[in-house]
Chain A
Amino acid sequence: MVHRDLFDLQRSNRLHQRVQRFILAHGGDSFGERHDRRVVDEPADTFDSLAIELARFQYDCETGVQRLYAHRGLHPDQLQDATQIPAVPTDAFKLHRVACHPAQLDEVVFLTSGTTIGTRGQHALRTTSTYRISARSWGKMMLFPDTNRLHWILLAPPYRSDPSSSLGFMLDDFANYAKCAKCAECTTKCSEYTDVEPTWAVASDSIDVPRIARSLKQAQKSGCSVIVAGASFAFAYLLRELADANNPFVGVDVRVMITGGFKGKTREIEPAVWRVNLCEALHVSPNRIVTEYGMTELSSQAYDGALSDGLDVASPNPVLQPPPWMRICPVDPVTLSPVPPGQEGIARIVDLANVDSAVAIQTADRVRLVPGGFELLGRSPGATPRGCSIGIDEILSRELPAVPVLPRISGKKGES
């Protein structure tokens, strides 16, 4: 329960400004957003000092994180660097509203997948300005460093039909920002294509391949570079559809942004095999496929360096790179202490863009730090049920499909 009088709006606004300034100072872009002069002119904080400021702010406004501090025997005044901030488990978002501000001030509430246990995690944002700047800045760097004119094919239902989807929000924002019509430099050149809108390719719970084909043709005429983006399982459905249909991707230059894995056990696909399948089906080279790592509970994302390393590199860089305003620290799953360099741990993420929720997040994702970023090794499994007991992960893994729900694609292709 957040008490209105405990939420200091001005303090929150100042912190948003400081985070935005930090992003701008580290290669970010304001993207034409108007900023208070202080955002641009004042010197940026250091990562640790800003993270601690955010942690103290969040402690003061009754998000429930105080109990986590008490559980660890810690007080915010004792914090000296970001690694000491108690991290809020992603599971907590399923049980509790983790937000500094009262619900009346929500601009948007992102929801995690529905679960059979009946709870959907929620991440409430009072303002999306910092989220947008964070997402766009790193997206620009990692997804489209070479152009701002992209033709977007999004393997998701239109964002407006599901405004609780954080992925939908981000893709919608990217597509509105980096499309031909929005590019001031080429307004004249592209004037006849200004009505090219992103193609949301999921309709009526299925992938609309004819629509994708029409969109690809349109893109070829425009000369815009094509990006196909979506969640892994949406691509899995697309690939199954393409197996039967005339493949509209032949001869089209596309890049791919793919996010999320497969939680299912037998349906788990080996990443290397998955990448080969994608390359073959979409007629792209491996260095055109970018993996995104993000989650509903975060406001920043990491990407692998396939595109950012140069569009003509022979072999893609599989290392996931967080932006300078997000740090990944592998920790021991029992003690929650950082593991020695090079060792595997579960990801503790400090995301400065999480101003009004939780600056430090504890995930169950297994990661290892490597030069230039981190490797994602999978999800830490829940306790293996012994005897005939059952574990939370066994129940949570039976999550209802996130949007898009795509079970009705013709069964004739065989159930995986």
Chain B
Amino acid sequence: MKVIISSQGHHEDDLVDVRFGRCAYFAVWDSNTNTFEFIENKGKSSDHGAGLAAAQQVIDLNGDALLSERLGPKAFRVLDQSGIHLYKCHGMTLRDAVERLKTHDLEMIKEAYR
């Protein structure tokens, strides 16, 4: 399984970024190797449509799940139709987030943040 997480930094003990579209990095966790890989978020530097640029990047990464906190209306519309499972994290490290996902301890994101 491949899990993508909006992240404030590029270490597994960094926190999940509350923001999706303008988060600093995307952490990509691979369940086979139990390792994290970090990719810069292209949306971060967009003048317009940061959420959509980020969503496209997440879709292109072809993950099974996305862990974040707040998805804007446009990003949610796209991700909701992409087949990726969306989970909500609040104030936890990337490692914690993955552990909680494994134990089915995360809430699903069912609507855009307002």
Q: Please say whether chains A and B are actual partners in one complex.
A: no
Interface of B toward A, CB cutoff 8 Å:
none
